[in-house]
A and B are shown apart, each in its own frame.
Chain A
């Protein structure tokens, strides 16, 4: 399977614990995105990488959240001191970097997501 993969698919943790999610993008894709989705809502942007550089972070991404993409390939999203409000589906997507014009119409390919439940 050459699509975007995410691990784990499900995570149950207790409030206050740290969790880390991994995303493996499509191999030739330079851009990698993290989104969060709560029940009944569309995905919300969290952050994105161009190769290993983190180019933008949403205000949704509090200090307890950190994302890395150390070698420009896979990425990790860590949540420290989890809270019940962090319960959500965390989605990763990737896209190839196109031309400036192409970026106006780029397609993002999503992984299956990691569903987090904080008790």
Chain B
């Protein structure tokens, strides 16, 4: 299963665009890239998923280069409520999700 590496923490200010990059050098051909968001004392919440190029939904965009060895989650114009931990996951191992430590995003006023 592909191992992921992402920054442990990031700081931002309200209204800024935040980009969180995840490295996954040994991603397999069939693996999808998925990002989850987790607020304190809550379960993780699916944000976005992609296989290649760019995916956009109402919450975020996901950029995946051609070699797929990394991906970048982009959050436009963050607000205080975007303060959370963001997890990058690659592939599935028998259906179960393998979480890393995630990136703790802190948005300041």
Binding site for B on A (CB under 8 A): 4, 31, 33, 35, 40-45, 48, 55-56, 89, 91-93, 95, 103-113, 115
User: Which residues of B sit under 8 angstroms from A104, Cβ to Cβ?
Assistant: 30-32, 91-92
The answer to whether B92 and A106 have CB atoms under 8 Å apart is yes
Does B105 make an interface contact (CB < 8 A)?
A: no
Give min CB distance, A56 to chain B, whole Å. 6
The answer to whether B91 and A93 have CB atoms under 8 Å apart is no
User: Which residues of B sit under 8 angstroms from A56, Cβ to Cβ?
Assistant: 94-96
Known: A48-B95, A103-B95, A104-B91. A109 touches B102 (CB 8 A): no
Give min CB distance, B71 to chain A, whole Å. 14
User: Which residues of B sit under 8 angstroms from A55, Cβ to Cβ?
Assistant: 94-95
Q: How many angstroms from the CA of A110 to the CA of B89 in the assembled complex?
A: 15
The answer to whether B43 and A31 have CB atoms under 8 Å apart is no
Kindly report which residue of chain A lies nearest to residue B31, judged by CB atoms. Answer: A104
Q: How many angstroms from the CA of A83 to the CA of B94 in the assembled complex?
A: 29
Could you list some 26 contacts between A and B, CB below 8 A?
Answer: A33-B97, A40-B101, A41-B101, A42-B87, A45-B97, A48-B95, A56-B94, A89-B41, A91-B43, A91-B44, A93-B43, A95-B95, A104-B31, A104-B32, A105-B51, A107-B46, A107-B49, A108-B46, A109-B46, A110-B43, A111-B43, A112-B41, A112-B42, A112-B43, A113-B41, A113-B42
User: Which residues of A sit under 8 angstroms from B97, Cβ to Cβ?
Assistant: 33, 35, 43, 45, 93, 108
User: Which residues of A sit under 8 angstroms from B45, Cβ to Cβ?
Assistant: 110
Q: How many angstroms from the CA of A35 to the CA of B41 in the assembled complex?
A: 14
User: Which residues of A sit under 8 angstroms from B60, Cβ to Cβ?
Assistant: none
Q: Indicate the size class of the contact surface on chain B.
A: 20 to 34
User: Which residues of A sit under 8 angstroms from B94, Cβ to Cβ?
Assistant: 55-56
Q: How many angstroms from the CA of A105 to the CA of B98 in the assembled complex?
A: 13
Q: How many angstroms from the CA of A93 to the CA of B30 in the assembled complex?
A: 23
Does B15 make an interface contact (CB < 8 A)?
A: no
Give min CB distance, A11 to chain B, whole Å. 14
Give min CB distance, B100 to chain A, whole Å. 6
Known: A40-B101, A42-B87. A106 touches B43 (CB 8 A): no
